[in-house]
Protein backbone atom coordinates (compact mmCIF):
# COMPACT_ATOMS: atom_id res chain seq x y z
CA UNK A 1 0.00 0.00 0.00
CA UNK A 2 1.45 3.34 -1.06
CA UNK A 3 2.16 5.75 1.80
CA UNK A 4 3.35 9.32 1.41
CA UNK A 5 5.17 11.16 4.18
CA UNK A 6 6.08 14.82 4.32
CA UNK A 7 8.73 16.29 6.57
CA UNK A 8 8.69 18.65 8.32
CA UNK A 9 5.04 18.97 9.33
CA UNK A 10 5.53 22.67 9.91
CA UNK A 11 8.26 25.16 9.07
CA UNK A 12 8.77 28.83 9.89
CA UNK A 13 11.45 30.84 8.10
CA UNK A 14 12.35 34.52 7.73
CA UNK A 15 11.62 36.21 4.43
CA UNK A 16 14.31 35.79 1.79
CA UNK A 17 15.50 32.36 2.88
CA UNK A 18 15.80 29.43 0.51
CA UNK A 19 14.04 26.33 1.81
CA UNK A 20 13.44 22.68 1.00
CA UNK A 21 10.34 20.62 1.65
CA UNK A 22 10.62 16.85 1.62
CA UNK A 23 8.29 14.13 0.42
CA UNK A 24 8.89 10.39 0.55
CA UNK A 25 6.83 7.51 -0.77
CA UNK A 26 7.01 3.79 -0.12
CA UNK A 27 6.20 2.33 -3.56
CA UNK A 28 8.60 3.55 -6.25
CA UNK A 29 6.36 2.34 -9.10
CA UNK A 30 4.68 5.70 -9.57
CA UNK A 31 3.23 7.29 -12.66
CA UNK A 32 3.92 10.85 -11.61
CA UNK A 33 4.29 13.10 -8.57
CA UNK A 34 2.60 16.40 -8.00
CA UNK A 35 3.14 19.28 -5.60
CA UNK A 36 0.16 21.37 -4.55
CA UNK A 37 -0.34 24.48 -2.47
CA UNK A 38 -3.35 24.96 -0.20
CA UNK A 39 -4.24 28.27 1.41
CA UNK A 40 -6.35 28.21 4.60
CA UNK A 41 -9.95 27.22 3.90
CA UNK A 42 -9.28 26.97 0.18
CA UNK A 43 -8.86 24.25 -2.41
CA UNK A 44 -5.60 22.99 -3.86
CA UNK A 45 -3.53 24.73 -6.51
CA UNK A 46 -1.21 22.58 -8.59
CA UNK A 47 2.37 23.86 -8.55
CA UNK A 48 4.45 21.28 -10.38
CA UNK A 49 3.87 17.87 -11.96
CA UNK A 50 6.81 15.54 -12.51
CA UNK A 51 6.31 12.49 -14.71
CA UNK A 52 8.07 9.30 -13.62
CA UNK A 53 10.61 9.66 -16.45
CA UNK A 54 11.62 13.16 -15.37
CA UNK A 55 14.12 14.21 -12.69
CA UNK A 56 12.93 17.75 -12.04
CA UNK A 57 10.56 20.53 -12.96
CA UNK A 58 10.92 24.26 -12.48
CA UNK A 59 8.42 27.07 -12.30
CA UNK A 60 9.65 30.50 -11.30
CA UNK A 61 11.17 30.31 -7.81
CA UNK A 62 10.03 26.69 -7.40
CA UNK A 63 12.03 23.62 -8.31
CA UNK A 64 10.84 20.08 -7.68
CA UNK A 65 13.06 17.04 -7.98
CA UNK A 66 12.18 13.38 -8.16
CA UNK A 67 14.32 10.36 -7.27
CA UNK A 68 12.00 7.46 -7.98
CA UNK A 69 14.42 4.73 -6.95
CA UNK A 70 14.83 6.13 -3.46
CA UNK A 71 11.19 7.19 -3.17
CA UNK A 72 11.92 10.86 -2.60
CA UNK A 73 10.96 14.25 -3.91
CA UNK A 74 11.96 17.72 -2.78
CA UNK A 75 10.37 21.09 -3.38
CA UNK A 76 12.89 23.92 -3.34
CA UNK A 77 11.60 27.45 -2.84
CA UNK A 78 14.09 30.21 -3.55
CA UNK A 79 14.02 33.62 -1.90
CA UNK A 80 10.89 32.91 0.12
CA UNK A 81 8.20 35.58 0.49
CA UNK A 82 5.36 36.01 3.01
CA UNK A 83 2.94 35.20 0.18
CA UNK A 84 4.46 31.72 0.03
CA UNK A 85 2.89 30.94 3.41
CA UNK A 86 0.53 28.01 2.91
CA UNK A 87 0.32 24.25 3.28
CA UNK A 88 2.29 22.34 0.65
CA UNK A 89 1.03 18.91 -0.31
CA UNK A 90 2.80 16.17 -2.19
CA UNK A 91 0.82 13.49 -4.05
CA UNK A 92 1.84 10.47 -6.09
CA UNK A 93 -0.10 8.60 -8.74
CA UNK A 94 0.40 4.97 -9.70
CA UNK A 95 1.84 1.96 -8.04
CA UNK A 96 -0.76 -0.67 -7.21
CA UNK A 97 -3.61 1.78 -7.89
CA UNK A 98 -4.00 4.62 -10.32
CA UNK A 99 -5.19 7.35 -7.97
CA UNK A 100 -3.54 10.27 -6.20
CA UNK A 101 -2.17 9.41 -2.76
CA UNK A 102 -1.52 12.50 -0.66
CA UNK A 103 0.84 13.27 2.18
CA UNK A 104 -0.35 15.22 5.21
CA UNK A 105 1.43 18.35 4.07
CA UNK A 106 3.97 20.85 5.36
CA UNK A 107 2.61 24.06 6.84
CA UNK A 108 4.97 26.86 5.81
CA UNK A 109 5.05 30.27 7.45
CA UNK A 110 7.35 32.92 5.97
CA UNK A 111 7.89 35.74 8.44
CA UNK A 112 8.25 39.28 7.05
CA UNK B 1 -10.23 31.76 -9.73
CA UNK B 2 -10.03 28.12 -10.77
CA UNK B 3 -12.13 26.46 -13.44
CA UNK B 4 -13.81 24.30 -10.81
CA UNK B 5 -16.57 25.77 -8.65
CA UNK B 6 -18.28 24.26 -5.62
CA UNK B 7 -21.45 25.21 -3.79
CA UNK B 8 -22.19 25.78 -1.04
CA UNK B 9 -18.89 26.91 0.44
CA UNK B 10 -20.08 26.25 3.98
CA UNK B 11 -22.78 23.88 5.21
CA UNK B 12 -24.03 23.07 8.69
CA UNK B 13 -26.45 20.19 8.97
CA UNK B 14 -28.03 17.95 11.57
CA UNK B 15 -27.64 14.20 11.51
CA UNK B 16 -31.14 13.70 10.16
CA UNK B 17 -30.90 16.24 7.32
CA UNK B 18 -30.49 15.54 3.62
CA UNK B 19 -28.32 17.91 1.62
CA UNK B 20 -26.31 17.93 -1.58
CA UNK B 21 -22.94 19.35 -2.54
CA UNK B 22 -22.49 20.58 -6.09
CA UNK B 23 -19.39 20.80 -8.24
CA UNK B 24 -19.07 22.24 -11.74
CA UNK B 25 -16.01 22.29 -13.95
CA UNK B 26 -15.54 24.67 -16.87
CA UNK B 27 -12.33 23.12 -18.20
CA UNK B 28 -13.72 20.60 -20.68
CA UNK B 29 -12.37 17.70 -18.63
CA UNK B 30 -13.81 14.21 -18.72
CA UNK B 31 -13.05 13.00 -15.19
CA UNK B 32 -14.24 14.32 -11.83
CA UNK B 33 -13.37 13.43 -8.26
CA UNK B 34 -14.64 13.83 -4.70
CA UNK B 35 -12.07 14.05 -1.87
CA UNK B 36 -12.49 14.37 1.89
CA UNK B 37 -9.99 16.40 3.92
CA UNK B 38 -10.18 15.93 7.69
CA UNK B 39 -7.99 17.69 10.20
CA UNK B 40 -4.52 16.15 10.58
CA UNK B 41 -5.23 13.47 7.94
CA UNK B 42 -4.20 13.21 4.29
CA UNK B 43 -6.74 13.93 1.60
CA UNK B 44 -8.81 10.83 1.00
CA UNK B 45 -10.18 10.00 -2.42
CA UNK B 46 -13.88 9.11 -2.18
CA UNK B 47 -15.18 8.73 -5.72
CA UNK B 48 -13.92 8.99 -9.29
CA UNK B 49 -16.10 9.48 -12.35
CA UNK B 50 -14.46 8.99 -15.73
CA UNK B 51 -16.52 9.65 -18.86
CA UNK B 52 -19.55 9.92 -16.56
CA UNK B 53 -19.12 6.41 -15.18
CA UNK B 54 -18.12 5.76 -11.60
CA UNK B 55 -14.77 4.01 -11.82
CA UNK B 56 -13.73 4.15 -8.20
CA UNK B 57 -15.48 4.01 -4.85
CA UNK B 58 -13.09 3.82 -1.94
CA UNK B 59 -15.28 2.00 0.56
CA UNK B 60 -17.24 5.12 1.29
CA UNK B 61 -20.30 4.67 3.56
CA UNK B 62 -23.63 4.61 1.76
CA UNK B 63 -24.72 7.81 3.52
CA UNK B 64 -22.60 9.49 0.81
CA UNK B 65 -24.14 9.10 -2.65
CA UNK B 66 -22.43 10.61 -5.72
CA UNK B 67 -24.13 11.58 -8.96
CA UNK B 68 -22.56 12.65 -12.24
CA UNK B 69 -25.30 13.68 -14.71
CA UNK B 70 -22.78 14.91 -17.30
CA UNK B 71 -19.06 15.53 -17.63
CA UNK B 72 -19.31 19.06 -16.24
CA UNK B 73 -21.33 18.42 -13.09
CA UNK B 74 -20.82 16.29 -10.02
CA UNK B 75 -22.98 16.02 -6.93
CA UNK B 76 -22.51 14.47 -3.52
CA UNK B 77 -25.79 13.67 -1.83
CA UNK B 78 -25.63 13.48 1.95
CA UNK B 79 -28.07 11.85 4.36
CA UNK B 80 -28.00 10.77 8.00
CA UNK B 81 -24.40 11.89 8.43
CA UNK B 82 -22.36 11.53 11.60
CA UNK B 83 -20.35 14.23 13.40
CA UNK B 84 -17.12 12.52 12.26
CA UNK B 85 -18.14 13.31 8.68
CA UNK B 86 -17.40 16.97 9.37
CA UNK B 87 -14.59 17.91 6.99
CA UNK B 88 -13.64 19.90 3.91
CA UNK B 89 -15.03 18.19 0.81
CA UNK B 90 -13.04 18.94 -2.32
CA UNK B 91 -14.01 18.36 -5.92
CA UNK B 92 -11.44 18.04 -8.71
CA UNK B 93 -11.40 17.42 -12.44
CA UNK B 94 -8.84 16.26 -14.96
CA UNK B 95 -8.51 15.00 -18.50
CA UNK B 96 -8.39 11.22 -18.82
CA UNK B 97 -6.61 9.47 -21.67
CA UNK B 98 -9.24 7.10 -23.06
CA UNK B 99 -7.88 3.57 -23.10
CA UNK B 100 -4.93 4.59 -20.97
CA UNK B 101 -4.22 3.93 -17.32
CA UNK B 102 -6.52 6.67 -16.13
CA UNK B 103 -5.90 10.32 -15.48
CA UNK B 104 -2.39 11.31 -16.42
CA UNK B 105 -2.76 15.06 -16.30
CA UNK B 106 -3.03 17.59 -13.54
CA UNK B 107 -6.09 17.55 -11.34
CA UNK B 108 -7.67 20.96 -10.83
CA UNK B 109 -9.39 21.47 -7.51
CA UNK B 110 -12.36 23.53 -6.45
CA UNK B 111 -12.34 25.65 -3.27
CA UNK B 112 -14.18 23.01 -1.27
CA UNK B 113 -17.27 22.86 0.91
CA UNK B 114 -16.67 23.10 4.66
CA UNK B 115 -19.20 20.70 6.15
CA UNK B 116 -20.13 20.64 9.83
CA UNK B 117 -22.43 17.90 11.11
CA UNK B 118 -24.04 18.64 14.46
Residue ranges of A 75-104 with Cβ closer than 8 A to chain B: 89, 91, 93-94, 98-104
Comparing CA positions, the residue from B24, B29, B18, B19 lying closest to residue B6 is B24
pLDDT of A105 higher than 90: yes
Q: What is the 3-state secondary structure (H, E, C) of A39-101?
A: CCCCCEEEEEEEECCCCEEEECCEEEEEECCCCEEEEEECCCCHHHCEEEEEEEEECCCCCEE
Is B101's CB within 8 Å of A31's CB? yes
Is A102's CB within 8 Å of B43's CB? yes
Q: Chain B: give the shortest CA distance to residue A102, in Å.
A: 6
User: What are the two backbone dihedrals, phi and then psi, of residue A36, each rounded to the nearest 5 degrees?
Assistant: -125, 160
pLDDT at B99: 54
Residues B40-57 have pLDDT tens digits of 888 999 998 887 777 777
Residues A53-97 have pLDDT tens digits of 999 999 999 999 999 999 999 999 999 999 999 999 999 987 555
Distances (CA, A) of B114 to A40, A89, B4, B110: 12, 19, 16, 12
Which of A36, A43, A99 lies at the smallest CB-CB distance from B48? A99
The rounded mean pLDDT for chain B is 87
Q: Chain A: give the shortest CA distance to residue B40, in Å.
A: 7
Amino acid sequence: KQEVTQIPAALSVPEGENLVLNCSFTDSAIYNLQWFRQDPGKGLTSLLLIQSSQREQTSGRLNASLDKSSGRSTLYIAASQPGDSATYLCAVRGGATNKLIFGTGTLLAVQP
Amino acid sequence: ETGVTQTPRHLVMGMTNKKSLKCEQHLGHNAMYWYKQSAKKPLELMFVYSLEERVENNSVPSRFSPECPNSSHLFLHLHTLQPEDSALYLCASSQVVVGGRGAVGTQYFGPGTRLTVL
